[in-house]
Amino acid sequence: METLQSLADGFAVALTFENLLLALLGCFLGTIIGALPGLGPSNGVAILIPLAFSLGLQPTPALILLTSVYYGAMYGGRISSILLNIPGDEPALMTTLDGYPMARAGKAGEALAISGIASFVGAFFATWGLVLLAPQLVKVALLFGPAEYFALFALAFATLGGVASRNQAKAAMAAALGLGIATIGVDGQTGVPRFTFGEVHLYDGIDFLVAIVGLFALSEVFIFLEHRASGDASTQKMEIGRITPPLSMLRETAPAMARSTIIGFIAGVLPGAGASLGSFVSYSFEKRLSDKKGTFGKGDPRGVAAPEAGNNAAAGGALVPMLALGVPGSGTTAVLLAMLLALNITPGPLLFQQQPDVVWGLIAALFIGNFMLLAMNLPLVSLFVRVLLVPTRYLMPAVAMISFVGIYGISGSTFDLMVMIVFGVLGWVLRKLDVPLVPVILGVLLGDQMEKNLRRTMTIHDGDWTKLFDSWLAIGLWTFAVVGFILPLIAGRYFRPKLADSNKVEGADPD
């Protein structure tokens, strides 16, 4: 009851005309930033910090603006995933798998609407989770030592096979490629450069944004160039379809949203796991559980709802360790943390007691932003889908140039642009060979953390490998990982002939 009283106080702080206006502005800018390839929630928030300063905002309004941008970007990322097959930011990666096939099948409007609703569900319940469970959840985060984190990442990669590709060997190859790319740069544990060839630009490693934009956006441009002469049949305008989802689709996806919200939220609470892992685990879990007819990956609405609910729930979950421990659970919360410090607010165990007005004002702002985004996103679906009406001969050059700017504007590095072009060509080749791109990105994203946690475990326990399985939590995670890896291999042996037949009919063109 006390909690609800505090929340009401929070709303009293947040519900002013000025704050609502700021929330609207933040949601709008955030959605745009999220949808632009290369700009995601973390640099979106960082870019807009000066705006908060130059408007001379007090702490609470400044936080309202920036958290609206944060949630807005989490919503926005799905737009380019669905319409263009280019993830607007890294957590929206999984949404391409079913979102783009839906758009190609003339259901772009439905995909956008259902994913908007899923985003809302994920973010809404995650915010409630933050309200009701934050103090208890911190204890969950403390259960995770390096060994448990390593097991968690192993679980993510073990269940990868079959999620993103029909060919497990190719998925494994793609993951290894991504993990290998992640090892480029100065080794965080010992400071030794690895695979840098003495090139100073490689010392920080390869930014996953460069990889993601190159692999997805530029390779898309190459695909269009390749197909142009062979008749405009493959590149002609797509059907938009209806812009509201039918009720039956909502009913069908509701359980997926519910499950994914829980999974995503827990992944968000764990520092270092973050929204990408949240959406990934949500998707693969949902596929395992409910993909009875093999429709995932071919435009199943549940495959859109699951990762979007998952990544937005993770965004809410990531605020738990940031507020309660001062530990950012993701890149974005790291930026928000810096912002809090600048506003003379020290997050940490005592924040809820010492500055309740800020915390509850922030939480109220999250609710407001979330409702605003839902209200903004559903009517705007009809506007977003108009992107598909732009002829590709104008749309694709714009996508390519936005990709370049998205990378250059953040890092100011010509070298990064060159690397991005290399990734573009690589992405085109891999797509031709039907090697999935999602595991590559996951490898680049998670490889560093995975290795670090393995080595931390070894350092703490003087190289004793058995310590990787030293807690019930770790053993549980490993069990899931092993089962998740072996099951599709066995199942594949029985079902492969059938699947191969059905693939010939519907899945001939993997692009």
Partner 1 sequence: MRKVLGFAAALLLASNIAAFAFEPGNTECIAPANPGGGWDFTCRQVGKALQDLSIIPGTMQVTNLAGGGGGVAYAEVVNKRNEDLNLIVAASSATATRLAQGAYPGNDMTQVRWIGAVGADYGVIAVAKDSPVQTLPELLDMIKKDPTSVSVAGGSAVGGWDHLKVLLAAKKAGVEDVRSIKYVAFDGGGEAVTQLLAGSVQAFTGDASEAKGFVDSGDIRVISVLAPERLEGDFSSFPTAKEQGIDVIGANWRGFYAPGNMPDDAYNYWVESIGKVYDSKEWKDIMAANGLAPLNLRGTEFQAFVKDSVDSITELSKQIGILK
Partner 2 sequence: MSDRILGIAAVALAALYIWRGTLIEPSFMSDPLGPKAFPFIIGAVLAIAGIAVAVRPDEEPVWPGAARLLEIAMAVAVMVAYAWVLRDIGFVASTSVAAAYLSWRLGSHPVAAIIAGIVIAVGIFVVFKLILGLSLATGPWGF
DSSP 354: H
Contact flag: residue 32 with partner 2 (CB under 8 A): yes
Alpha carbon distance 413, 396 (integer Å):
23
In 3D space, the residue among 51, 3, 11 whose CA is nearest the CA of residue 371 turns out to be 11
Q: How far is the CB of 29 from partner 2 (least distance, A)?
A: 8
Using CB under 8 A as the binding rule, the residues of this chain from 400 to 419 that contact partner 2 are 400-402, 404-405, 408-410, 412, 414, 417-418
Q: How far is the CB of 37 from partner 1 (least distance, A)?
A: 17
Q: How far is the CB of 202 from partner 1 (least distance, A)?
A: 8
| One residue of 177, 212, 267, 277 binding partner 2 per CB under 8 A | 177
Using CB under 8 A as the binding rule, the residues of this chain from 201 to 220 that contact partner 2 are 218
Q: Which stretch binds partner 1 (CB under 8 A): 11-19, 117-125, 163-171, 202-210?
A: 202-210
> How would you write 84-129 as a 3-class SS string?
HCCCCCHHHCCHHHHHHHHHHCCCHHHHHHHHHHHHHHHHHHHHHH
**Angle value at C-alpha 289, between 284 and 291, nearest 5 degrees:** 85
Q: How far is the CB of 223 from partner 1 (least distance, A)?
A: 30
Q: How far is the CB of 338 from partner 1 (least distance, A)?
A: 6
Strands, E assignment, 97-242: 185-186, 193-194
Contact flag: residue 232 with partner 1 (CB under 8 A): no
Contact flag: residue 432 with partner 2 (CB under 8 A): yes
368 contact choice in partner 1, partner 2, none (CB below 5 to 8 Å, kind-dependent): none
In the complex with partner 1, the residue whose CB is nearer, 138 or 380, is 138
In the complex with partner 2, the residue whose CB is nearer, 351 or 440, is 440
Do 311 and 340 form a contact (C-beta atoms < 8 A)? no
Contact flag: residue 470 with partner 1 (CB under 8 A): no
Alpha carbon distance 437, 178 (integer Å):
9
Q: Which stretch binds partner 1 (CB under 8 A): 10-18, 144-152, 160-168, 391-399?
A: 144-152
| One residue of 104, 228, 288, 467 binding partner 2 per CB under 8 A | 228
351 contact choice in partner 1, partner 2, none (CB below 5 to 8 Å, kind-dependent): partner 1
Three-class SS state of 357: helix
Burial of 509 (0-12, 13-18, 19+ CB in 10 A): exposed
Using CB under 8 A as the binding rule, the residues of this chain from 454 to 473 that contact partner 2 are 454-456, 458-459, 462-463
328 contact choice in partner 2, partner 1, none (CB below 5 to 8 Å, kind-dependent): partner 1
* Residue found by looking up tokens 């679906």 in the block: 381
**Angle value at C-alpha 318, between 454 and 186, nearest 5 degrees:** 40
Contact flag: residue 428 with partner 2 (CB under 8 A): yes
For 497-503, which contacts have Cβ atoms below 8 Å and span 24 or more sequence positions? Answer: 499/166, 499/294, 502/294, 503/166
In the complex with partner 2, the residue whose CB is nearer, 3 or 414, is 414
In the complex with partner 2, the residue whose CB is nearer, 8 or 393, is 393
> CA torsion sign, 19 to 23 to 25 to 30?
positive
Q: How far is the CB of 150 from partner 1 (least distance, A)?
A: 12
Q: How far is the CB of 341 from partner 1 (least distance, A)?
A: 6
Contact flag: residue 203 with partner 1 (CB under 8 A): yes
Contact flag: residue 141 with partner 1 (CB under 8 A): yes
| One residue of 180, 241, 348, 507 binding partner 1 per CB under 8 A | 348
In the complex with partner 1, the residue whose CB is nearer, 188 or 356, is 188
396 contact choice in partner 2, partner 1, none (CB below 5 to 8 Å, kind-dependent): partner 2
Contact flag: residue 173 with partner 2 (CB under 8 A): yes
Six token digits for residue 38: 């290369």
In 3D space, the residue among 320, 349, 364 whose CA is nearest the CA of residue 60 turns out to be 364
DSSP 246: -
- List the x/- string, 32-51, binding to partner 1 by CB under 8 A: ----------xx-xxx-xx-
Do 440 and 211 form a contact (C-beta atoms < 8 A)? yes
- Burial readout 215-246 (b: 16 or more C-beta within 10 A, e: otherwise): bbbbbbbbbbeeeeeeeeeebeebebbebebe
Q: How far is the CB of 351 from partner 1 (least distance, A)?
A: 7
**Phi, psi dihedral angles at 144 (to 5 degrees):** -90, 100
| One residue of 16, 58, 189, 502 binding partner 1 per CB under 8 A | 189
Three-class SS state of 173: helix
DSSP 186: E
In 3D space, the residue among 85, 73, 104 whose CA is nearest the CA of residue 377 turns out to be 73
Footprint of partner 1 (CB under 8 A): 42-43, 45-47, 49-50, 53, 141-146, 186-191, 198, 200-201, 203-204, 207, 271-272, 321, 325-328, 331, 334-335, 337-338, 341-344, 346-351, 354, 410-413, 415, 452, 456, 459-460, 462
